[in-house]
Amino acid sequence: MGDCGSPRHRGRSRLARLARRPRCAACPFAIREASVVTSAANEGRGYPLRLVVLFALALALAVIWLVLPLERSTVWMLTTVGTLAALAIVAWRTRRLAIARAQNAQVLAALGTATSTIPGGMHTSMPLVLLTGDGLAALFDRDDTTRLAWVGDGAIWLRVDDPNALPRLAVAVRQWRDGRAPDGVVLSVAPALHTNADALVQRLRLARQAMADASRMLGTRLPGYVAIYQRLAGRGPNALPTGNIATDNPQWFGVASITPLASTSAFETAIRGAEDAVQETSRVQDAATRTTRAAGIASLVDWTQRVVMGALTDRRQPAALWPLHGAVWIDCGPASGPDSPWERDVELRTKVAPASVAASPSPWPLPQPLIEAMPVHRRAAPRLSALGHALALLACAAAVAFWGAARNNEALLKKIGADLEHFRSIPATHDAARRDALVALVADRDRLERYARTGVPLRLSFGMYHGAQLLAPLNDAIASYVPPPPPPAVVTLDSMSLFDSGKAQLKVGSTRAMVGALELIKAHPGKRILVAGHTDNVGDPASNLKLSVGRASAVRDWLVDASGIPTTQFAIQGYGDTRPIADNETQDGRARNRRVEITLVPDAAQQAPSAQ
């Protein structure tokens, strides 16, 4: 629906089988004289990829260095790789933004100028349509061929004169709209502007390739629409209004869907809708006129399906298929004569040449009904998206940190448990090994006590720390260690210096040899004293045993008298020749074997461990 004769009022309707009665909407506006608005502000509101990458790097480094159970070499390797990757992404993004600003500066400035009066944020919420194809000068404004954009009724229409510029312009629009791609691409087709069908098909293939390139560069499929501008009824430019709605106010009719159309059924629906529309809106005309008009509309729809959509959806072409979501037709457009592609097709099929008609007054109506059928994309603002991504990264970092803390605590408990088990498995007789194991237990206990005083480190935190429960077993194990008694102090006396051969009575003056033993006994009053006698193997063993006992008794008696220590602190033992310390085959060896040993032994009560 629209008024081809009104330069400033364009109708709109709900797109169904046919447009209903015309109704005038609010006047759209275009900015002719406006202050130049730079695009830097809009660019600044885009997705902050560099900040997100740096935030992700900071989280990764924090988790790697503070939480994860990794070797130091692995930590440094991951830090180097992650930092270089993040810096590469930041540099790549910075370079791309600089190139995009340089390439799209003119487009962004024109968009900012054309939409300077739109309230903030509306440039991302209003539908934005790229319009390319035929008759763009008449669609936008014939007296201003440089106009880039038109802010119409509920949409921003962006003019693309050269289809080859469509991909770059689509990328610029996404940059200008803070990351939101255009909502659709409308291809306007005016058959009367082409000399033959082959030239039209070549232009359609060019638009198809541009659409495929734009979708590839944006990473998304843009909805495609086709608007056919073709005069069906004659009306001279100076003729007075006839009062005929079908002639004075040609209406839009067509089909559209939020999903790609099935070409056959969709176009059959459009033909039936067009025929019904002619019957409803042409009651003032005679039956012949209505029939002729309905046949022309049906022929135009059929021609569009075969020629236009055939070129856009031909699978033999290398470019991707045109994603058709809607097609509309209007009895409006340039002057039509017998040489235009559609008229030739009609004449070829019906043997009747359509009458020539004059051009519609400009500007032509924009295919506004397509706006209401475009898919609605609910998209969060780039800053909100970045915030959501930051929260997602934070959640991932937290999950990895929880995992790392769990692994660290598991390793801590396993090590302390292994140290405890190792200490308990060592026999008491292996004191050196027990002492080494005790050192490890003391280090474990000191570490857990330090955590209790100063706080648990981050790598063991996040609610995973259970080291406090091991303090009691560690203290019990450490307290259970009892050092072995010290080796006894032994004083060896030469029997020949104390006794005559074969005698057990001390010689006169022999006491001087026992002064050292007496001083040792007095220095350790709490010790028990064992006096043991030994002989060589000369003579009868029984006699030697008796002699060793007698000599030990003699030494004991003298020490009791000299020290004043009770006799109960002493013990005597005779070994005879059973414990030699040298070879009895030599004279020197036998001399060494004839001896009396005085040994200090700790009292049994003193050897018991204390409670402490």
**pLDDT tens digit sequence for 281-334:** 555 455 666 677 777 788 888 898 889 988 998 888 888 888 888 888 888 899
Q: What does each C-alpha distance from 562 to 511, 521, 522, 566 come to in angstroms?
A: 10, 11, 10, 11
Identity of the highest mean pLDDT range in 236-250, 345-359, 452-466 = 452-466
Which domain range does residue 243 map to?
Answer: 115-379
Do 475 and 493 share a structural domain?
Answer: no
258 falls within a domain: yes
pLDDT of res. 379: 61
- Please give the pLDDT value at position 23: 31
Does residue 25 belong to any structural domain of this protein?
Answer: no
Confidence of residue 276 (pLDDT cuts 50, 70, 90): low
Tokens of 141: 């404004």
Residue 9: the pLDDT is 35
Q: How far is it, in rounded angstroms, from Cα 186 to Cα 147?
A: 17
Say whether both 444 and 524 belong to one domain: no
What confidence category does residue 611 fall into, taking pLDDT thresholds of 50, 70 and 90? Answer: very low
Are the beta carbons of 149 and 161 closer than 8 angstroms? no
Domain end, chosen from 479, 500, 522, is at 479
348 and 272 fall within a common domain? yes
| Sheet (strand 224-229) strand order | 149-152, 155-160, 128-133, 184-189, 224-229, 324-330, 253-256
Strand 570-576: give its sheet, edge to edge.
489-494, 595-601, 528-534, 570-576
Confidence of residue 278 (pLDDT cuts 50, 70, 90): low
Q: Is the pLDDT of residue 358 over 70?
A: yes
Question: Reduced to 3 states, what is the DSSP secondary structure of residue 227?
Answer: strand
Helix axes 382-425, 471-479, angle to 10 degrees: 20
pTM: 0.56
Query: Can you give the pLDDT at residue 378?
Result: 60
134 part of a folded domain: yes
Domain termination residue (choose one: 479, 508, 538): 479
Residue 496 falls within a domain, yes or no?
Answer: yes
Please count the structural domains in the chain.
Answer: 3
Distance (Å, rounded) from C-alpha 576 to C-alpha 535? 5
CATH of the domain at 577: 3.30.1330.60
3-state secondary structure at position 159: strand
Residue 471, in any domain of the structure: yes
Residue 244 predicted with pLDDT over 50 = no
User: What share of the chain has pLDDT > 90, as a percent?
Assistant: 33
470 and 544 belong to one structural domain: no
- Please indicate, yes or no, whether residues 351 and 288 belong to a single structural domain of this protein: yes
Higher pLDDT: 278 or 414? It is: 414
Last residue of a domain, one of 429, 452, 479: 479
**Antiparallel, parallel or unpaired: β 324-330 and 149-152:** unpaired
CA–CA dist 84, 291 (Å, integer):
73
Whether 171 and 280 map to the same domain: the answer is yes
Same domain, 349 and 211: yes
- Is 565 in contact with 525 (CB distance < 8 Å)? yes
Instruction: Determine the Cα–Cα distance for residues 39 and 594; give it in Å rounded to an integer.
Output: 113
User: Average pLDDT, whole number, for the chain?
Assistant: 79
Q: What pLDDT, on the 0 to 100 scale, is given for residue 85?
A: 95
Same structural domain for residues 475 and 505?
A: no
Domain membership of residue 34 (yes or no) is no
Element (H, E) at 172: helix 166-176
Residue, of 232 and 42, whose pLDDT is higher = 232
Q: Is the pLDDT of residue 466 over 70?
A: yes
Considering the domain boundaries, does residue 37 fall inside one? no
Instruction: Give the ranges where 15-151 is alpha helix by DSSP (H).
Output: 40-44, 49-66, 72-114, 122-125, 136-140
- Tell me: do 324 and 193 sit in the same domain: yes
The pLDDT assigned to 495 comes to: 85
pLDDT at residue 424, rounded to an integer: 92
Asked if residue 571 belongs to a domain, the reply is: yes
The residue among 7 and 94 whose pLDDT is bigger is: 94
Q: State whether residue 464 is helix, strand or coil.
A: coil
- The token duo for 578 is 């059973």
Q: Is residue 139's pLDDT more than 80?
A: yes
pLDDT for the residue 242:
36
User: Quick one: CA torsion of 166, 169, 175, 178, rounded to 10 degrees?
Assistant: -70
**Are 469 and 538 in the same domain?**
no
* Whether residue 308 is found in the same domain as residue 433: no
Query: Is the same domain home to 474 and 498?
Result: no
Q: How confident is the model at residue 37 (pLDDT cuts 50, 70, 90)?
A: very low
